[in-house]
Amino acid sequence: MAKETALELRNISKSFGKVAANKNINLTVYKNEILSLLGENGSGKTTLMNMISGIYFPDEGEIFVGGQPAVIASPKDAFKYKIGMIHQHFKLVETFTAAQNIILGIKEKFNLKLVNSRVREIAEKYGFDIDPKKKVHEMSVSEKQTVEIIKVLYRGANILILDEPTAVLTPQEIEKLFAVLRKMRDDGKSIIIITHKLNEVMEISDRVSILRKGEYIGTVNTSETNEKQLTEMMVGKKITLEINRAEVEHTRPLLEIRDLSIKADDGNVAIKNVNFYIRGGEILGVAGIAGCGQKELCEAIAGLRKIEKGFIMHKGESIVGIPPKQIIEKGISMSFIPEDRLGMGLAPSFSITDNMMLKTYGDGKTPFVNRKTARAKAEALIAKLDIVTPSTETPVRRLSGGNVQKVLVGREIEAGPNVIVTAYPVRGLDINSAYAIYDILNEQKKNGVGILFVGEDLDVMLALCDKIMVLCHGEVMGIVHASKVTKEELGLMMTGAVNLTVEQKEKNFGIAKDSNLTEDEWLNAANEMNGGDDDDENRKN
């Protein structure tokens, strides 16, 4: 039985100056299907989706919706053809309710009571869990995503594009999302998912389309392929998708956090009474739902955020209250990838060379900076991480998001630190680039560096990290060996359903949750929660 076509692209091309983002793309999306779109950074995925959603207009080619020619020159046109895109970074008004956000921008009279009823109707139909009257700032990440999806469904979208929809969800939330997407597919919707998680591609999609360097490589049935084949189609050569956890003899703790509490920008507690340590030659993962305190923890360690109480010790010396530059000089390097990479991590108008110098420009003995050494480092970094750029002197704002991220991560690692604090180092990177970063982190681990790794992909954490600390609402739910825990167990801890810290305290000391521990009790408890290592005496020293 022939499938009914929902969307068809014929010979679509788009260039920006001399750079061809898409070249003669031919792509078909059927009704009642979930299509995954894969490709390396710079392969043209975002540009292509932006043309379908009306943000860009193609230089050449035709778009057909439901078999009929379509001219999509704006997002308004896309909605007219019942096409909606759910972006990775939500576009919601925090002080508005779910219902108010959903109808925002619709130029027609409405009754909020009827809107609430219609939202509930859509939610019940597909299995969403949403309160139309709840304000966005009170919502979890998954609830905000639900608002974004219902927003396009409310406008009648039959073709939905989701950009990295699982990036900040727990395993349980991902499972619920996939159940909803399947119901939408069975209801006749056509869904396009952009994701870098191949295991999820294999689980949720019916077909997979691959782009490489702006060109269409092909489409395969998910049931007839595997992760290795998809990766080879993306990259154009055979690669090994394995994270080999390096077995390294641990040294004494390089970084130790004791009873740390930190406030968020809004004055609420972001981190509450957190205790952990990182030894040389060890990768400690930090898992948690977005907003659980990871950002504030990283900023406090780097000296960018004031702490309310507690200690941050580096090699037995307190670094609380000292300037960030002195913390860097002590060997603590922070690679934090915020939403605004160019605003916080790099100087957008500076070249790669100049950005490499931002932490070392004051090291020289003359008034003149050493650009020759910095340029050599930039060239080595470009080669090592395969950064796509015209030259070392190109302003980083002209690079793609993935390449900007490579510059940021690479610069931190090249500084030769003894402690690396890295948050979301592969966010937005293609699979090949991501594994290159994992290899580099393992190299640093072998060199005796202690690494704090904040990540989103639990499968990666289980393969890369030695131990994983789980945060929920700023509190530690437990610190476990990566080899002795499952993804599902981590998910339960991330939502607060399981709290090993409380269970461990009550088991070992028979005390209540809020009891104060002595120094020796704390050392023993921290040791137990960190997997029961046998080097407690070494740690005390």
Question: Looking at residue 238, what is its pLDDT?
Answer: 73
Residue 248 included in any domain: no
Whether residue 181 is found in the same domain as residue 277: no
Predicted TM-score (pTM) of the model is 0.68
Residue 359 buriedness (CB in 10 A; 0-12 / 13-18 / 19+):
middle
For 43-114, list the strands marked E by DSSP. 60-65, 68-70, 83-86
Whether residue 231 is found in the same domain as residue 282: no
Whether residue 257 is found in the same domain as residue 223: no
- Dihedral angle over CA of 261, 264, 267, 270, nearest 10: -40
Mark the ranges of the chain whose per-residue pLDDT is less than 50: 339-340, 508-515, 517-523, 525-526, 528-532, 534-541
Whether residue 172 is found in the same domain as residue 204: yes
Question: Looking at residue 513, what is its pLDDT?
Answer: 39
Residue 271 buriedness (CB in 10 A; 0-12 / 13-18 / 19+):
buried
Whether residue 215 is found in the same domain as residue 325: no
Boundary residue ending a domain (373, 390, 415): 415
Residue 481: helix, strand or coil by DSSP?
strand
Residue 498 included in any domain: yes
Question: Looking at residue 505, what is its pLDDT?
Answer: 54
> CA distances (Å), 364 to each of 152, 357, 359, 512, in order?
55, 11, 12, 55
Question: Looking at residue 514, what is its pLDDT?
Answer: 42
Residue 33 included in any domain: yes
Whether residue 91 is found in the same domain as residue 137: yes
Residue whose entry in the numeric block shows the structure tokens 């670094």 = 319
Q: What domain count does the chain have?
A: 3
CATH number at residue 217: 3.40.50.300
* Owning domain of residue 404: 340-415
Residue 441 included in any domain: no
Question: Looking at residue 534, what is its pLDDT?
Answer: 42
Query: What pairs with residue 256 in β-bridges?
Result: 277, 313
Q: What are φ and ψ of residue 540, in 5° steps?
A: -65, -30
Whether residue 261 is found in the same domain as residue 223: no
Pairwise CA distance, residues 463 & 458, whole Å: 9
Residue 477: helix, strand or coil by DSSP?
strand
> CA distances (Å), 43 to each of 80, 124, 299, in order?
28, 38, 33
| Residues contacting 251, CB < 8 A, separation 6+ | 279, 280, 281, 448
Whether residue 223 is found in the same domain as residue 111: yes
Pairwise CA distance, residues 335 & 345, whole Å: 8
Residue 440 included in any domain: no
Question: Looking at residue 526, what is its pLDDT?
Answer: 45
Pairwise CA distance, residues 134 & 495, whole Å: 20
Residue 535 included in any domain: yes
Question: Looking at residue 538, what is its pLDDT?
Answer: 40
Residue 367 included in any domain: yes
Whether residue 85 is found in the same domain as residue 223: yes
Which of the 8 DSSP states describes residue 214?
T
Amino acid at 318: S
Strands ordered across the beta sheet of 207-212: 68-70, 60-65, 5-16, 19-30, 215-221, 207-212, 33-39, 190-194, 159-163, 83-86
Boundary residue ending a domain (175, 208, 235): 235
Whether residue 271 is found in the same domain as residue 183: no
Whether residue 397 is found in the same domain as residue 425: no
The distance in angstroms from the start CA to the end CA of the chain is 72
Question: Looking at residue 508, what is its pLDDT?
Answer: 46
Residue 508 included in any domain: yes
Residue 32: helix, strand or coil by DSSP?
coil
Question: Looking at residue 223, what is its pLDDT?
Answer: 95
Whether residue 422 is found in the same domain as residue 410: no
Pairwise CA distance, residues 156 & 440, whole Å: 46
